[in-house]
A and B are shown apart, each in its own frame.
Chain A
């Protein structure tokens, strides 16, 4: 990380001392709605949070290793690449499952501890990819500490759908998912771990995460269940065969199953501009959650299992079923054109506004929604404010007060990892009314959300700042921001009046991930005092 220790406050000075400190995070620190009063500000970053002293730490919360049945690398392999490609934090998330619950969840830990020592400037969290009962997969991770393995292991053995056989979309299995989130919240309350977070992975891929399940997870414990992947990993998956996998971008190439939510349109099973339908659709599922005035954040990550054009192969003599891991990879000599993943940090980044260079600060930043994401190094930095309130925050003013949005973008000034300088073409402002709790828990549209302003970006600058008057506050609303290289667009799924030039439905087996770059911010709410 670029911040020297001497610049850290005494409180944050030593990551090690942080790890020893237990229970600093009250699980009641967040609340369910921005309509709340005293606790609302805390839910979005603290009452005194002007966001003025944030360090933006880039990371990836969805990475597999040799402890996953469908992956292959050591922890240090993934970590070294993550650091080389500029990441500050990563989460190791091997698949939950019988072998992992019995062997991998424990055995990966010494590898993670060794990697923390070997790469002291990289934050390496231990987590797992949760097979959510009755739903898709999710990232679950905890703050490092003496109970990190014990909490994850108990969680996996009790609540992982593939361990306990709870896959089908039944009410009992949905309840088990809620119980799992509550377990994590209790683990924090009882100070077994300092913090625990859950983020839904590839949420629209197979239609398994129904709208009411998102609401149920979030409302069960908003200090734990905080969001979803805005963009899935596997962004190389649609590079054409035979040079690439030739599948759907993000390996989104499926169609409904018996367990899919029947209300989702077929378009939801595909990515749009590399992003998941729930995030890419203006006025769609994500906006329907934000319109309730409740936090729900988006992220982006690699989901790295095996790497496009990498030449390593699984270690000879491996027996995953018996051992719970693959032997260390060896050089195979042949570029892997069937792999659909990029190394962590090479393409997808989740930027977290942290108040310190620490595990706790990254988790606090994610929980507070101080998060924006980008693909292909589209931009270098992003600062979105509503009169000083940063991303994820609630700007609370009297009715009638004039409100202004400021978007400052640090444009890319160096080539990305495909060796070209990305050019931001346009920035869009998306605004939605806060309409309160949805009567129908399966609502997945927000009819009062649309793109309200687009700014063209002139080239040849290092930093651009756009100001946009949001008018005098009458009813509560939120804003979020999106930007693109402008190379691929079409009217949004809900029509050109909602999103005239939105992301394009990705082409099966032929989407160049480097010629269709987007960034997305999380929202800021503006609420009458």
Chain B
């Protein structure tokens, strides 16, 4: 099981860039029991740091001095389960297509499913369309998948992969 938490930061401006880096870092590592997260960090300016939780120690280069604080914030948040958006997490490859809430929770590391605008948890039989893209987040010590009401009475992940370009488009 996981025994080591590592924070890394090279000052990526976007989540996409940080995810790309994570996949490079993990390319030669056995993915079993590995969790990799992105973190929004505001120091020295707003950017994205990353963290890894691994079953064994790994030697990685230290971040540049200006990003040391970001790396520490990311590592501590992941270790405490207070923040962090999981890009790689146990059971991920078993979470595809349309699954019930109960099956999603049983398949891997996701501890909880929340529905936007609703205080109550979804019924175990409620269907979730994973849309092939899940990014659960650490909240209150629990890896939480945020979902929203979607087509056909199903739930869909709050974060979707193909987000509309945000600067020149609309």
Closest 8 CB pairs between A and B? Answer: A505-B117, A255-B159, A510-B151, A258-B46, A508-B150, A507-B149, A509-B151, A70-B169
B residues 37-72 near A (Cβ < 8 Å) are 40-42, 45-48
Nearest chain B CB to A80's CB is how many angstroms away?
Answer: 22
Which of B41, B42, B150, B166 is in CB contact (< 8 Å) with A254?
B166
Q: Which of A131, A251, A508 has the most CB of B within 10 A?
A: A508
Provide the bound-state CA to CA distance between A502 and B134, in Å: 30
Provide the bound-state CA to CA distance between A169 and B45, in Å: 8
Contacts of B163 in A (CB 8 A): 253-255
Provide the bound-state CA to CA distance between A168 and B167, in Å: 12
B6 at the interface (CB under 8 A from A): no
Contacts of B168 in A (CB 8 A): 69-70, 95, 97, 162
Q: Say which size band chain B's interface belongs to.
A: 20 to 34
Whether the pair B117, A508 counts as a contact (CB closer than 8 A) is: no
Task: Jot down 14 A-B pairs with beta carbons below 8 A, ordered by A.
Answer: A69-B168, A253-B160, A254-B164, A255-B159, A258-B14, A258-B46, A258-B48, A303-B170, A493-B117, A505-B116, A505-B148, A505-B149, A507-B150, A508-B156
Contacts of B166 in A (CB 8 A): 206, 254, 257
Nearest chain B CB to A71's CB is how many angstroms away?
Answer: 9
- Specify the chain A residue showing the minimal Cβ separation from B18: A258
B4 at the interface (CB under 8 A from A): no
Contacts of A305 in B (CB 8 A): 170
Q: Which of A131, A272, A505 has the most CB of B within 10 A?
A: A505
Beyond A507-B151, A508-B149, is A70–B170 a contact (Cβ under 8 Å)? yes
Contacts of B102 in A (CB 8 A): none
Whether the pair B151, A251 counts as a contact (CB closer than 8 A) is: no
Contacts of B46 in A (CB 8 A): 168-170, 258-259
Contacts of B146 in A (CB 8 A): 266
Contacts of A490 in B (CB 8 A): 117
| Contact surface of A with B, Cβ cutoff 8 Å | 69-70, 95, 97, 131, 162, 167-170, 206, 234, 240, 246-247, 251, 253-260, 262, 266-267, 269-270, 272, 303, 305, 490, 493, 504-505, 507-510
B105 at the interface (CB under 8 A from A): no
Provide the bound-state CA to CA distance between A303 and B14, in Å: 26
Contacts of A259 in B (CB 8 A): 46
B residues 133-152 near A (Cβ < 8 Å) are 146, 148-152
Contacts of B48 in A (CB 8 A): 258
B15 at the interface (CB under 8 A from A): yes
| Contact surface of B with A, Cβ cutoff 8 Å | 13-15, 40-42, 45-48, 116-117, 146, 148-152, 156, 158-160, 163-164, 166-170
Nearest chain A CB to B14's CB is how many angstroms away?
Answer: 7
Provide the bound-state CA to CA distance between A260 and B46, in Å: 9
Provide the bound-state CA to CA distance between A269 and B146, in Å: 12
Nearest chain B CB to A270's CB is how many angstroms away?
Answer: 6
Contacts of B13 in A (CB 8 A): 168, 258
Contacts of A254 in B (CB 8 A): 163-164, 166
Whether the pair B170, A170 counts as a contact (CB closer than 8 A) is: no
Provide the bound-state CA to CA distance between A272 and B159, in Å: 17
- Specify the chain B residue showing the minimal Cβ separation from A510: B151
- Specify the chain B residue showing the minimal Cβ separation from A260: B40
Contacts of A162 in B (CB 8 A): 167-168
Provide the bound-state CA to CA distance between A509 and B164, in Å: 14
Contacts of A234 in B (CB 8 A): 170
- Specify the chain B residue showing the minimal Cβ separation from A208: B166
Contacts of B159 in A (CB 8 A): 255
Provide the bound-state CA to CA distance between A69 and B168, in Å: 7
Which of A206, A246, A262, A267 is in CB contact (< 8 Å) with B151?
A246
Provide the bound-state CA to CA distance between A258 and B47, in Å: 5
- Specify the chain A residue showing the minimal Cβ separation from B12: A258
Whether the pair A262, B117 counts as a contact (CB closer than 8 A) is: no
Whether the pair B116, A267 counts as a contact (CB closer than 8 A) is: yes
Nearest chain B CB to A376's CB is how many angstroms away?
Answer: 21
Contacts of B160 in A (CB 8 A): 253, 255, 508
